[in-house]
Structure 1
Amino acid sequence: MTASPTGRPNVDHPQNQTRLLQKAVAEADTKAIARVRANITQRPNTSDEDIATRELTEWEAMRVVAREHGFAEWFALARHVGEGNELPPEGTLASLVEAVEEPDPSTVQAILAEYPHLVHARFYSEHDTGDTLLHRADPGLRLPENDQGWSLDDGTTDAHLKVTGILIDYGADVNATGGSGNTTGETPIGAAGWAGNLRMCQLLLDRGADPNHVSDWGFDALGTITDHKKTDIFKAMVAAGARYEPRHILQCSMKDQLVETLDREPDRLEELIDLGHFDGENGTLIHVAVEEGLEDVVALLLNRGADVQAIDNRGRTPLHRALNPGHAKRPETVINMLIDYGARIDIRAAIGLGDAARVTQLLDEDPSIITTRGTGGMTLLHFAAEYNQPELARMLLERGAAKDIVSDAGDTPFDLASRRGHHVVADILRAGCG
């Protein structure tokens, strides 16, 4: 570090680094471009050529250099130096990250003992909030995933837990928002819960993680944990004081506890609840059970008198949710159960079921419904596209269904079919547009 005339560190060296970075990027140096890509969130998917040809501003170069030294912005670096502190040598933060992920507790301890400010470093390659070292300490976030994008194994060793403890000892925020990929926007315990990492979750709770904390993105760890049916972690969170709702118990298939809750508070059966922190939708418990494909819980709720015609805040009944094409496998048992309990097969449900006779009957009874805009501004032709029903799409076109109406999400029926990979329907709609 360059010294000032008073013998105190100054920012001449990092300022020189910014100028060298600007020059290297202009010359299309691949290492320099990688540095920009790793620290300027707005450019994670741009090409090297795009980065090189668009002039890197001085402000952007200063931000990259600051973040490589463990500071979110240049002013924080300048303040650190102005207070008489040394900056770590180039590559120190990268070495710390490597030691955290390895894990190598002794190296983590040694680096933080000399440069404790690095414990607060964030990593901005994916989003503006940034990832943290405490998130990086969880091995479950770097292991293979199943076909739903969930971690298959937490892979935690005692060394991982020791590294986590060292980070917390040096002041890492146990409730910080961070994460990456599927855990973007989560707290460390939310990310560990997503990975199914019970030991990491327990350590974080023991070291002060708030089980009821809501991240800056609006995510709560308990919601993530029950969304992924991590019952053992759910129990640990409750033991630590997490506030839970019937839907959390339901998602973990804890039927006895659900029965006890409904016996004690029967009105909870029909109350509108948050369906989950990623969805931001409201529905009843039976909507949740249907969406989760929990046949035995659906049966339990129906036997207790759950309203089979209950509407969520997007106008969907439980049957509509069961017919959702987003299910990995269509829940036929749940669909049949709902119909047996009196679920009304309206025009949307009939399209989802592929029931041409019922669709024809309803159109004959009220031809005007062919122009009706339902949930999200979608028409019947949108629903045929969404549910992958080519013959019904053809029938609706023959009856004069409008082909170019745009939903609230900005999609025509063709757009929707194409995005979902329903190519036969898309071809029919394309031909119909001609």
Structure 2
Amino acid sequence: MYGYYIHLPGSRGAFHRLWLLVSCDFCVLRLATLVLCPSCVCGQSCPDTRGGVWVVLLTCCSILFQHPVTDPSGILSMSLVELTEKLQAGALTPEMVLGTYMSRTLEVTRELNCVTDFLPECEEQLQSLQERSDRGPLYGVPISLKDNYNYQGHYTTLGLIKNLERPASEDCVIVQVLKKQGAVPFVKTNIPQSMLNYDCSNPIYGQTLNPHNHKKSPGGSSGGEGALISSRGSILGFGSDIGGSLRFPSAFCGVCAFKPTGNRLSKIGLVSSCPGQKSVSAMLGPIARDVDSLVVAMRALLCDDMFQLDPTVPPIPFNDEVFSSTRPLRIGYYETDGSTMATPSMRRAVLQTKDLLEKAGHQLVQFNPPMVASSLFELAMKGLLADGGSTFLDNFKGDRVDANLRTQVTTYSLPSWLKSLLSVVVKPLVGSPN
């Protein structure tokens, strides 16, 4: 280690020094990775570089947060609903819970490389929570944040090395709201470079692995969140989604996520690789191990604090009456959209869900969504790349391009006349949009 030490368990100084230890060693680790290991710079994982540091950090955590009464496995096995109840009742303290999840997170990210940054400010937040007379609905709940969430004093990199020079000047609105509701952000998680990719790798932090199969991808772009939540390194995380960036990692990692309607939650302070693109709206949302946890998160977020911090968000609180209603619903479903064919397992999942909903008393109506392919190309793709991809390409000027993005960047970089020629050649092979 680099001159930092740890007090005996139980002192507040110990907590602070462990965070200092974690943060400093993580910075040294990344610098060493970039300078000493060219393979990592090219987007490859390098366990040999990380291993020694993480072993010591895990040992420190296991000693520091050892508690004579609380079983860490018990805390990790609780649902968010159970955890919030015990925190509110005082059966668990925020320090116990955070310590347990931090130790687990260190263990998980050593295996999967899903965490990019630790947030030592959480110690001050724990102290302020104890001084508050009101306990928010997320009191003492440790949460993880996708890399693109601004957190004051920390980097929002998007996997771009040049962004390591610009730490965020303030928290994004959602982080401010989460803190007001009692949540404790403690880590940020990995993403694909630029976020416009369905894998999870970048030249700064390397490749994140799927928790169920290390040869597979966790999905993207909220892949670090999917891997961490699935491995019980965090009980509640927050990502973003424009074309599946929450939904793909949830499917690949076996967890649950929710993409709200556009502008339902504030996006102030969330960083994009294509700022100004308004045609296809991105939206942030929660990711957790079960649906009930998503409900807890949305109920907490849709509050006056957010509506005051961002007046552009419709001031519509969570409607418990509608959510709790047992009135039968009429629900449309389809097995395929006619453009992208579903796998047999996907069709089976849809039909199993249909059967469960019908048994619950709801009416299921099959329908065929119209003009899917033409809408995808004419509205979504042309909206996202209305400038021919020039804003996207600006991100990579003077920066390294991750191996997973090279084909994408090369294609966008082609001159317009060549793109037009290629479209004429390829169109007969793929057919016209319906």
Same fold by TM-score, threshold 0.5 exceeded?
Answer: no
Larger CA Rg, structure 1 vs 2: 1
If the length of structure 2 is used for normalisation, what is the TM-score? 0.26
Whose helix fraction is larger, Structure 1's or Structure 2's?
1
* Relative contact order higher in (CA < 8 Å, ≥ 6 apart): 2
If the length of structure 1 is used for normalisation, what is the TM-score? 0.26
Whose strand fraction is larger, Structure 1's or Structure 2's?
2
